Every structure is written in structure tokens, then in C-alpha cells.
Structure 1
């Protein structure tokens, strides 16, 4: 991977490239897998490798993914990997023009839809998980009374804790502690609302 940092997306072209439903799914699959071919990814998303390859090239054109070293096979297929540990998309980068705000809103809605679908899939499959995983699942909601500055501070603290656990888990796994480890999705929303 070229960068161990999240890439901040600030241009509409890259946002639209990632904001395609299949491309976002492929990007997420690459983040989980670390590296894969169009054939591997095509099996996961039930699409033809040629279509997957087209969309991977579009992601690569915007620097979101890059070619990876061959991992076996006959050498005819390209391996792809994320170009960074993830992406960061902030509304503030798209508020200076109405068309940018529309593109950001469409991207954010797609992102939410895919997160929601992932959680629905978990709920449908939870009976197949051992009790220890079902007991570990986090599902909570809080209604706080905060200022915008307090929400920023809370978000920063929570992200620090998340990064700590991510780094520890990856380091432990790299050291050979792989027993019982699974991919875990953690979605965090903090937003103002009026009753």
C-alpha cells in the first residue's frame, strides 16, 4: 500500500468515481482483502471479471487503488490494492458550488445505504455466528445535548480509540495472533437533530 493514511477526497471527479455503487463495493472489498484480482472480486460481487476490471481501472485512474505485486497464479491477471488505508470525505470540501454539494450528498447517501445493507446482512446472518460474537456486537444509541465543539471533541476521542484498537489488532495479527479474529465493521454517526 502506498500510504498508511486515509486519503482525503476533495475533488468531484474522484468523489463521483468512488460514488458508483459497484466501485464503492469493490473498493471496500479491496480494503478488507488487502489485494485481489478482478476474478476474485467478480466472484464476491457476482459480476463478470471484465466489468469488474473496467471499474477497477476507473478507481485506479483516480488514484484510489493501484497495482499490487503478483500473489501467485499464472501472472496474466493484475492484482490490485488500495492506494491508502481508506478515504475521508468531508462536506466542507464540497460546499463552494451547488453541483459539488449535490455530488457530495449522493455519495453520502450511497455510503449510508451500503453501510445499512452490511448491517442488515449481519442481522440476517447472526444466527450463524457463535454466541461470543453475538454477545460482542455493539448496537447502541445515545441522545446527547452538546455544542458543535463538544461533538468535534467527542468524535476525535472516539476516532483515537478506534485507531488504537485497529493498530493493536493489526500488530497482534502480524505477530501471529490470528485466532478468533474477524473483520469488524464499526459505523459512527454523530449529527444534530430537532425533535
Structure 2
């Protein structure tokens, strides 16, 4: 995200319409791409997702209808093409907002599955391209799994502490970049899951 976007809070999504708007795979890809870029045009995003700018424009308008993105000031060019930017620092969903009606619960599950699939695709892409990254990046990357015995309260505490640590490093990186320290910085994906299971 651009510097001004990095300071925005996450938006809590609790309505079915917005959840359905985000549950479209292309829209979610566009939303993610906008967060990485800070702002972009339909043509720029179309190149990233390998889709026609007209189709991308349609889906951007759908995201805008739900207040997830908005028009941005043109960054370059002659101003004929619309620029878009996220309206928040991301989205968050909470289980308690989607209990009750079967349609709502199903939409919540479908969205969560889409996120898992897209995150897995991103990691698979890294694995396929790992050899092209410098050795220090390959060494710094991680993949681990732990099986713990916790209470629900302990799991909630663990998840909050992990998120606090991620936020700390996010802030450190953004502050350094704003000060001009951009050497060696790359986009880094950190995916955290903490959930119960029965053997």
C-alpha cells in the first residue's frame, strides 16, 4: 500500500452484500493488488491479473459500490483513466457477525475458503520461483507447523500476540521506507492460522 494507505484501519465486514462482493476470485485478486500498489488503473491491474481492462473496470466498480475501494487522484498520465485505491487498511471478518442464517454462514465459509486457496496459490508460486530468489531470501523464508494443546482463551491470546508482532514489523518496515530506506525491501506475505482440530 502507499504510505497514506498504510495508516488506515482495517474495515470490519459484517454485511452479506459486501462479503459476496469480496467472494469473487477476480475481485479479491484486484483488491489485494490495489493494497500492494497503493493505487492503480484498470489497465495496470489488468496486466497483473491477465484480464481485459473493461472486465477489470466492471469488477472495480462493484468493489467501489460496497465502499471497499474509491477513486484516487491520478498519479501519472493525462488523467483520462481512473485511478483506484483501497478505502481501508484491509478487511476483517468475525465469526460472530455471520452466525444465524444458513446463507450468511455459507457465504462466510465460501469467502474463507477463497482466501485459503489464494494464499496457497501465492505460496505455490513462491515455491515454483524460489530458485530465482537470492539465497538470503530463501534462508529467511519459513514454513512451519505446530500442534499445541490449548484452551480457546489461550488460542485467542496466541493469535493476538502473533498479530501484534506482525503489526510491529509492518510498522518498522513502513517507517524505514518513508525515511528512504528502501534497499533490499520486498513485499512479504505472512499467513497465520490458528484453529482447533480433532485427530
TM-score for the superposition, normalised by structure 1? 0.98
Matches of 1:168 and 1:35, distance apart in 2: 22
CA RMSD of aligned residues (A): 1.0
Q: Which residue of 1 aligns with 2:196?
A: 192
Among 97, 105, 109, the alignment partner of 2:109 is 105
Say which is worse superposed, 103-112 or 2-11, in terms of deviation: 2-11
- Runs of 4+ displaced beyond 4 Å: none
The count of residues paired between Structure 1 and Structure 2 equals 195
Matches of 2:167 and 2:193, distance apart in 1: 16
Give yes or no for the alignment of 1:32 onto 2:32.
no
Matches of 2:76 and 2:122, distance apart in 1: 30
Matches of 1:47 and 1:131, distance apart in 2: 33
Q: Which residue of 2 aligns with 1:123?
A: 127
**Structure 2 residue matching 1:133: 3-state secondary structure:** helix
Give yes or no for the alignment of 1:166 onto 2:170.
yes
Matches of 1:20 and 1:95, distance apart in 2: 21
Matches of 1:92 and 1:131, distance apart in 2: 43
Matches of 2:27 and 2:87, distance apart in 1: 14
Give the unaligned 5+ runs of structure 2.
none
TM-score for the superposition, normalised by structure 2? 0.96
Give the unaligned 5+ runs of structure 1.
none
